[in-house]
Structure 1
């Protein structure tokens, strides 16, 4: 069955138009996602360029003949820029201008002045292979699931088009020049275009997946983390703590909980304002992150209270960490509107050896110890074993 090359190219144009529409809608409604606007513009340019090339005639003015490959090449470059923006990098728009200019120069020199269609197809195919190969390389980044899946699909799609373009160039090199035209109906040329069209559709879908999974990841992050400090919120802390508790029960290792509260926090809000209070909490959260191990669990438990669950640590080890946090925080100077704020904290500690492998019991015990620390003058730590006799859980 013979495949009409112009029909296939019109299909490619339609795929790019669909991709441009999807990306434009996404960029309007999710402006926090970088790269969607570049992808929308890139798909639009490729749509215009591919569609116009199917209707092109030698009688057209030279400036129109030259502008078609320029627009198409800029479309490829904008897809690359979108990947840069999505990855949080600075966009190199000179690359887009270079790809468009290179494609226009090749088309005018090889297609118009030399009238060598064979060399034009080879040169453009090599250029496409280089651009899509660069896109694939920029998509090879580390990411967590489900974003990792979208990155891999996009990488494979771009790499496949790069490979197809290179194979097309090699195929054209092996054929006589008189047998080659832009819209040849041979057995190979349409096959390359069909495979390219399917890969282009895969690229559009994978880019949409990248955006969708990025939004899902951000929503998940917002749902599980405190917006002010960036720490886990109370619900996420409880979920993570249950996992650590289950592991501790299997391994037999101890657990400790530290409850931390900022001393006279209401006074900070009343005297300096709530924004100053927010800065105090942010600075304390940042300090705690520097001294807590990656395997431990740190969260803003509520208001000015923070909670730390320490794995493989008994009451005395947790007390050492709490005392270190207290000393560091008491020495911390917080600059706020030409003033220096000083603040202190109190902490209560409890462990599983004296309170059992139950999160509620551990938190309650640490809270009782915290209450004792506040009653004895604040800016100190207290152990739960000093509040009530130890019960010695196995």
Structure 2
């Protein structure tokens, strides 16, 4: 028991240290609180001098709360949720079992067996949650830990339930097995959770380095990196690639007339509208200011012009509502393709930019191919 508490305290300290940062993940804070509760529950279980009912209810109730907090954190990590009602239910089950086998039908072996099996099942639920919703983000170590804990607790509880008075060699072997596996499982879970936090922060950094914060489109650096890959694959596959430069017409007037918050909403609206029409292999990037670039894999100039014209019409028909005001706007587009200018991304962007300015000079709200 003391070894379990020591392992839990050590790894909980690491989670708490990371959770103290102001921008820490919500699930990270829940895992830290859950481990504090689990550690407190284990300590209460080892305490003496309290009435049996109070001792058992405090120990199992607090451990149940700890697992409920951890499970909620796992659900949030997987972009899911766990309602307060479910958390209350998780805590009430071991309390009800404890009360029944302490007051109604007193039986220490049954109480220990059923609560142990229940906590084993909860660990399996945690493992299943990660397998289903964790998206493979470094969760394997944590899953192994939860499965090992579940097996140890369930086997020990099941054996005690079937053999409540067991004190033979088999009972000792099972006890030794669980005393060996449970600390290892806890270490796997705790360090697995820390690994998951690190991976999630790495995702954040990758997003910050590749995504435009205002619009959600790729930024210029990501466009150049991913666009070059598309060009290379297209050249090897002998297929065409089209590039479309898009500019919001009279955007400065929108900012001056309606304010920058409305202008920002126009850019977000344009980005969302364009992304909603793209195929999985296409790219959309904010190139600068009110300019966006589309990279359309597998399309020649004629097909790309048709796509651009459809997008232009969608923009023209749309209305943006922001700051209590309704705004309509248009875009000018320039289109080119590798069939005309080759597979150099920057040359294609330059040619599409020149074609876009031709569309501006021709009266705006139109598509020009160059």
Tell me, yes or no, whether TM beats 0.5.
yes
- Aligned-residue offset at 1:347: 0.8
Show the counterpart of 2:37. Answer: 45
Q: Secondary structure at the match of 2:285?
A: strand
Show the counterpart of 2:46. Answer: 54
What's the TM-score, normalizing by structure 1?
0.87
For residues 249 and 302 of structure 1, do their structure 2 counterparts lie closer, same or farther at Cα, with a shift above 3 Å needed? Answer: same
Show the counterpart of 1:249. Answer: 235
Larger Rg: 1
Show the counterpart of 1:92. Answer: 83
For residues 118 and 74 of structure 1, do their structure 2 counterparts lie closer, same or farther at Cα, with a shift above 3 Å needed? Answer: same
Distance between the aligned counterparts of 1:50 and 1:337, measured in 2? 54
Q: Is the 8 A contact 1:260 1:307 kept in 2?
A: yes
For residues 17 and 94 of structure 1, do their structure 2 counterparts lie closer, same or farther at Cα, with a shift above 3 Å needed? Answer: farther
Show the counterpart of 1:76. Answer: 67
> What does 1:127-276 align with in structure 2 at a 5 Å threshold?
127-141=118-132, 148-173=136-161, 175=163, 177=165, 179=167, 186-276=172-262
For residues 64 and 174 of structure 1, do their structure 2 counterparts lie closer, same or farther at Cα, with a shift above 3 Å needed? Answer: closer
- Aligned-residue offset at 1:178: 5.6
How many positions carry a matched residue from both structures?
Answer: 369
Distance between the aligned counterparts of 2:52 and 2:152, measured in 1? 32
Distance between the aligned counterparts of 1:68 and 1:153, measured in 2? 27
Which sits farther off after the overlay, 292-301 or 85-94? 85-94
Q: Is the 8 A contact 1:19 1:40 kept in 2?
A: no
Q: Secondary structure at the match of 1:168?
A: helix
Distance between the aligned counterparts of 1:290 and 1:87, measured in 2? 24
- Aligned-residue offset at 1:94: 3.4
What's the TM-score, normalizing by structure 2?
0.92
- Aligned-residue offset at 1:113: 7.1
For residues 142 and 237 of structure 1, do their structure 2 counterparts lie closer, same or farther at Cα, with a shift above 3 Å needed? Answer: farther
Distance between the aligned counterparts of 2:112 and 2:323, measured in 1? 65
Q: Is the 8 A contact 2:144 2:188 kept in 1?
A: no
Distance between the aligned counterparts of 2:291 and 2:115, measured in 1? 63
For residues 160 and 227 of structure 1, do their structure 2 counterparts lie closer, same or farther at Cα, with a shift above 3 Å needed? Answer: same
Q: Say whether residues 1:327 and 2:313 are aligned partners.
A: yes
Distance between the aligned counterparts of 1:108 and 1:283, measured in 2? 58
Q: Say whether residues 1:118 and 2:104 are aligned partners.
A: no
Q: Secondary structure at the match of 2:132?
A: coil
Q: Is the 8 A contact 2:30 2:73 kept in 1?
A: yes
Q: Considering only aligned residues, what root-mean-square deviation do their CA atoms show, in Å?
A: 2.3
Show the counterpart of 2:28. Answer: 36
CA deviations over 1:226-280 (Å, ceiling 9, x no partner): 0111000111011111111110111100111111111111111111111111111
For residues 232 and 346 of structure 1, do their structure 2 counterparts lie closer, same or farther at Cα, with a shift above 3 Å needed? Answer: same
Distance between the aligned counterparts of 1:131 and 1:142, measured in 2? 16
Q: Secondary structure at the match of 2:172?
A: coil
For residues 328 and 102 of structure 1, do their structure 2 counterparts lie closer, same or farther at Cα, with a shift above 3 Å needed? Answer: closer
Could you list the runs of 5+ residues in structure 1 that have no partner in the other structure? 1-8, 385-394
Distance between the aligned counterparts of 1:108 and 1:264, measured in 2? 72
Q: Is the 8 A contact 1:34 1:88 kept in 2?
A: no
- Aligned-residue offset at 1:60: 4.5
Distance between the aligned counterparts of 1:227 and 1:86, measured in 2? 22
Q: Is the 8 A contact 2:78 2:134 kept in 1?
A: no
Distance between the aligned counterparts of 1:193 and 1:109, measured in 2? 27
Distance between the aligned counterparts of 2:352 and 2:289, measured in 1? 17
Distance between the aligned counterparts of 1:315 and 1:226, measured in 2? 27
CA deviations over 1:88-141 (Å, ceiling 9, x no partner): 333333344334333234345436775533323321221112211111121123
